[in-house]
Amino acid sequence: MNVFGVDIGGSGIKGAPVDLERGELAQERHKVLTPQPSSPAAVADAVAEVVGNFGWSGPVGITFPGVVTSGVTRTAANVDKGWIDMDASRLLGDRLGGMPVTVLNDADAAGVAEVTFGAGRGRKGTVILLTFGTGIGSALFIDGRLVPNTELGHLELHGHDAESHASTKAKEDEDLSWQHWAHRVQKYLAHVEMLFSPELFIIGGGVSRKAEKFLPLIEGIRAEIVPAELRNDAGIVGAAMAAAGR
């Protein structure tokens, strides 16, 4: 069974049909740049372009980088503030010609995919997935059950949002070495560990492709730390799962 998933990020919007039996993309994903400014109408057009590239008709799951409750986007840290309190399910469904649309937090989607098909499969206790990109997304699981919309990237660290200090964007903007950035990530993980005492951290987002460059540099964390197995496709897979009611 294939269902379409779209992952809206601060820098890119990507999507593909997903094979829900295997938890893999059924076709190579299509990606476009996130419009700037990333207004709801402009992003909806970009989502329609991604979905239309495949000639898709049917249910579509769509992630959003912020809090989502009942299809309404409540926060917008890394996209246009016009998304705050937007009925995203209705907006995107209308733009897609009435296709059934399910909208959920991007890190929650990635986490569900990893816990079902990837690095968190079969793990009990407290598991936290963190996606490092334009910001830092989080998904918290207790014995495999999601606690939605945790937004741990906005924990305060050194007087600022943690994501402004330890995201991949911060690394790029400040031209940090892997060593320097890993030290920042280590401090962030230590803070999250102090609050939640997880058994496992799963590190996702695009930077997970380069896990060997920074994970070995992180020290002093009790929890096991592993890269996401679905890498940067996890959000697409999780979005499709949500659209299928899984």
Distance of CA 166 to the CA centre of its chain: 16
* 3-state class (DSSP) for residue 200: strand
* 3-state class (DSSP) for residue 146: strand
* 3-state class (DSSP) for residue 240: helix
**Phi/psi at 195 (5° precision):** -80, -35
Tell me: pLDDT of 176 over 90. Answer: yes
The CA distance from 98 to 227, in Å, is 37
Rounded to the nearest integer, the mean pLDDT of the chain is 97
* 3-state class (DSSP) for residue 111: helix
* Nearby residues of 149 by Cβ (< 8 Å), 6 or more positions away: 67, 68, 69, 105, 108
Task: Label residue 110 left, alpha or beta by phi (over 0 means left) and psi (-120 to 50 means alpha).
Answer: alpha
Stretch 194-200: mean pLDDT, rounded? 98
> What pLDDT, on the 0 to 100 scale, is given for residue 158?
87
pLDDT digits (tens, 9 = 90+) for 204-241: 999 999 999 999 999 999 999 999 999 989 999 999 99
Closest CA to 46 of 82, 72, 11: 11
Which long-range contacts (C-beta less than 8 Å, at least 24 apart) are formed by 144-150? 144/115, 144/120, 146/108, 146/111, 146/112, 146/115, 148/104, 148/105, 148/108, 149/67, 149/68, 149/69, 149/105, 149/108, 150/107
Length of the chain: 246
* Confidence grade of residue 1 (pLDDT, cut at 50, 70, 90): confident
* Confidence grade of residue 102 (pLDDT, cut at 50, 70, 90): very high
